[in-house]
Structure 1
């Protein structure tokens, strides 16, 4: 057991040294770029086309890419978090790609056989040993089962789980140290973000979660002929291996190829929009990465989704927010949009509510006189979230995934059918959510819960009051005071203590110097007393001037 702990500690030290080396290397490059010599070289190379001068966001992206898949995925999440990262860094982080070199085929085939607990020849009639694709976590192959189905397999890279968990441990350690050293950045909550990221990536490492997601989406669309969800073969799948139906079609970012195949691009856009909105507003469970690489168009304008490792889940509050926001957007009602945003943030009373409403109203004024079909829904939602972030309000993390999915959908629909607007498509779904929210049955259930709560309160009140009075009489009631900001309290106490100590020392010097001068005989201390008196007088004068002319820090 001790040997295992020693080995784990050794791995942590090795990985930590690698991270430190990469950070130090790129930090030195950044420092040099901002030095006088670096600025001189930048001016010298400005006119040379072949010499690219890297910006700070570009260096950050290159640093993350060199640190490996864990940091790349974390950077991709940060790219969609305007509450964490400024726009110029987010633009660069969106360029992060989970590129990876394929690992050894023999190793991959051995892992596949180990996970299936059977030789490849026994399960597959045909198997292509050339990888179809290679990603940071897994490697993809294709084949045909002995029962005749064309399938793709995704096998996890060897030891990748241990590497990622080690990176997450180090990220958490660094984040906690950083948060402790800079408590003023607590609003960013970097530790909470890493905890959230940890849960997401650990689920992505377990392919049984992806298999479960596929089965759930298959149930959602079992009666919808316009959407195809690939079958998953749970018999051969495991935590590190997933075997799925092979989907062959045309990607939606090639409109001409779709038209050449006799498909209707407008209908494809409608089908794709309806599919994603059904996921979001009817089930609260959606594909969180619907980019063209994860969507294929099949004959009959059928939209097929693949890669279900990243999904989003919405609470009823999130769904109500989206519905109210969509209706407010369609009506150009900035007050309704503002209320929806505040409810989403859990704020009933907000001191800057009027200022926030004014900013959202000004934002909606850009659509004055513009038809609903030309209004950018996802873009406006992102700008409204930016306003919320400006006021440092907390937004559920699932909303950022939702905005990303809606923005991708809007871009996807705009490519296939430029005349199709997302707002008119989303309105029926939004109204359905609101209708359910205020249905007589729902209202009656809420009223019943409220009345039950009041009845319990009335029934228990006499006993609770008697218990309080008894404990008060016995002197057993204690009141604990919890300060909202312990660090601020400690800093205030320390500052006050220093001021008291400083005042006592200066007054002591002043009084002591006077006594030394007064009782100079027969000890000969007059000179030393005069010196202390001058020093103490100067310190007192300095403090008086500081109090009079230097404003107090808030």
Structure 2
């Protein structure tokens, strides 16, 4: 154990040196090329790797704390990470299952990964008992790098204080705490397993037989290794393939959305990264939800206020929009509803001059633009939105892309099959 601590210490020192070197290169680049602050920061974060890429994604998804220029720039912050040789993954497995031979647990493990990201790599495997599984394995030294980087975030926060003077409604220490909370949770696979279990319990409680999530093999899971049932299916972004499994692709989308909307009301947390790689149509016609590493938490009342806001928008009732914006956000001061309503009217009058029904469907980035504008209006009135609020809008953008593939000529939001608000029992243990 002492040796491990010494090695972790050496890796921390090396990481700090690497960070300083990349920062120096950024300084030279700023002096010679004169990029904007947002572009330079995004490029530097990508060069620094996993923790900073995650930090960039946090900036991109938290417009309530960061100016528009940075939010938009960091949407380009892609998680590009190389595939690690299987020998590194095997090393982690042996460390986590110390005292057991891997041959005692697995009949076979595919050395070629199914997927690779900054934090983990996923491999297909077969258990000794014959079940087909996937194992999500944390990459070596990820935690050491993460905690070292988070220690440096305090220094970065001082830079942010100068570079981002528009941060008003949260102290930089609050921002640092939020970053730490999200990142630390993502490297704890025991917590991800619990997120999966909660979702499965929600499906059972709501008697939803049309969706599923992988079974967790807890006896073969640790903080750094997550062993799950392997689901076989196709992504929702290939219409021709989906058509082979379902007569009505639009119903596939509606089932997916209804299940997700229900989780907002009934589940302890909601899947906050439901892109094409994390949801699939299974061979038996059910919808499979996978990868619960990134989740959000939202009070059901906030989601109801969101829906009432959108309903008021369709009716161009700016007073109701203002009231529900207050319910969605947080404020420590008295708000002039009439003034807020007039600001909202100025914001949306241009959008509504076309067709309110098209608000959610025509342009992939339109909803994100609306979110940023809403945050700006709220900021002027002292309203701060919950940090996970933006994750809702990000998911709406994902659904927008699914709509273009599975129901390009339909208005899904006007479809009577879509249930954006679900009835919940007052004594339900799944309510927040």
Per the normalisation by structure 2, the TM-score is: 0.85
Partner Cα distance (1:340, 1:404) in 2 = 20
Residue aligned with 1:238, SS = coil
Task: Determine the structure 2 residue equivalent to 1:74.
Answer: 55
Question: 1:402 — aligned with what?
Answer: 392
Query: Distance between the aligned counterparts of 1:237 and 1:115, measured in 2?
Result: 9
For the residue of structure 2 that corresponds to 1:297, the secondary structure is strand
Residue from 225, 250, 267 that aligns with 2:251? 267
CA pair 80-119 structure 1, distance change in 2 beyond 3 A? same
For the pair 1:387 / 2:369, whether they are aligned, the reply is no
Identify which of 223, 228, 237 aligns with 2:221. Answer: 237
Distance 1:320 1:101, change over 3 A: same
Structural mapping, 1:181-260, within 5 Å: 186-187=168-169, 189-222=171-204, 223-260=207-244
After TM superposition, give the deviation of residue 271 of structure 1 in Å. Answer: 0.8
Separation in 1, partners of 2:389, 2:108:
43
Where relative contact order (Cα < 8 A, 6+ residues apart) is larger, the structure is: 2
Let me know the Cα RMSD of the aligned residues. 3.3
Q: Which residue is 1:18 aligned to? A: 18
CA positional deviation for 1:78: 0.5
State the match for 2:105 in structure 1: 123
Over 3 Å counting, the alpha-carbon distance change for 1:109 and 1:180 in structure 2 is: same
Q: 1:278 aligns with which of 247, 262, 267?
A: 262
CA contact (8 A) 2:282 2:288 kept: yes
1:132-170 CA distances to partner (integer Å, 9 max, x unpaired)?
A: 222211121111112221111011122211110010011
State the 1:368 CA deviation: 5.3
Deviations 1:96-127 (A, max 9, x none): 22222233422322321332342222222232
Within a 5 Å distance, the mapping from 1:526-541 to structure 2 comes to: none
Name the one with the larger helix percent. Answer: 1
Aligned equivalents of 1:165, 1:82: Cα separation in 2: 25
Choose the corresponding residue for 1:139, options 121, 141, 162.
121
The structure with more radius of gyration: 1
Q: 1:375 aligned to 359, 366, 383, which one?
A: 359
Give the structure 2 partner of residue 288 of structure 1.
272
The unaligned stretches of length 5 or more in structure 1 are 35-53, 442-554
SS at match of 1:94: helix
Q: Aligned pair in 2 of structure 1 residues 209, 93: CA closer, same or farther (>3 Å)?
A: same
**Can you give the 5+ residue segments of structure 2 that lack an aligned partner in the other structure?**
362-366, 428-432
Cα distance change of structure 1 residues 405 and 330 upon mapping to structure 2, 3 Å threshold: same
The answer to whether the 8 A contact 1:253-1:415 is kept is yes
Corresponding position of 1:39? none
Deviates more, 1:175-184 or 1:339-348: 175-184
Distance in 2 between the 1:177 and 1:360 partners? 33
1:29 is aligned to 29
Alpha-carbon distance change, 145 to 184 in structure 1, aligned in 2, over 3 angstroms? closer
Q: Given that residues 329 and 337 in structure 1 are in contact (C-alpha distance below 8 angstroms), is that contact kept between their aligned partners in structure 2?
A: yes
Question: Which of 327, 334, 337 is the matching residue for 2:311?
Answer: 327
1:295-334 mapped onto 2 (5 Å cutoff): 295-299=279-283, 301-334=285-318
The answer as to whether partners of 1:267 and 1:301 remain within 8 angstroms in 2 is no
1:114 paired residue among 95, 106, 126:
95
Residues 142-181 of structure 1 mapped to structure 2, 5 A cutoff: 142-175=124-157, 179=161
Please state how far the C-alpha of 1:299 moved relative to its aligned partner: 3.2
Q: Is 1:420 the equivalent of 2:381?
A: no
Does the CA-based 8 Å contact 1:284-1:319 persist in structure 2?
A: no
CA distance in 1, matches of 2:386, 2:155: 24
Say if 1:26 and 1:59, in contact at 8 Å, map to a contact too: yes
Is 1:103 the equivalent of 2:103? Answer: no
Give yes or no for contact 1:263–1:299 (8 Å, CA) kept in 2. no
Closer, same or farther in 2 for the Cα pair 1:382/1:275, shift >3 Å? farther
Q: In the alignment, is the contact (CA less than 8 A) between 1:123 and 1:145 conserved in 2? A: yes
Displacement of 1:244 after TM fit? 0.7
**What is the distance in 2 between the residues matched to 1:21 and 1:251?**
41
Shift of 1:220: 0.9
Distance 2:123 2:134 in 1: 6
Instruction: Tell me the matched-pair count.
Output: 416
Distance across 2 between alignment mates of 1:385 and 1:284: 25
The answer to whether the aligner puts 1:357 opposite 2:341 as a matched pair is yes
Instruction: Write the mapping of 1:53-68 to structure 2, written as runs, cut at 5 A.
Output: 57-68=38-49
Q: Is the 8 A contact 1:281 1:429 kept in 2?
A: no
Indicate the SS of the match to 2:198.
helix
Give how far 1:312 is off: 0.8
Q: Is the 8 Å Cα contact of residues 327 and 427 (structure 1) preserved in structure 2? A: no
With over 3 angstroms needed to count, the CA separation of the structure-2 counterparts of 1:425 and 1:209, relative to structure 1, is: farther
> Displacement, 1:411?
2.8
Superposed CA deviations along residues 5-39 of structure 1, whole A, max 9, x for unmatched, are 998877655433322321221222222124xxxxx
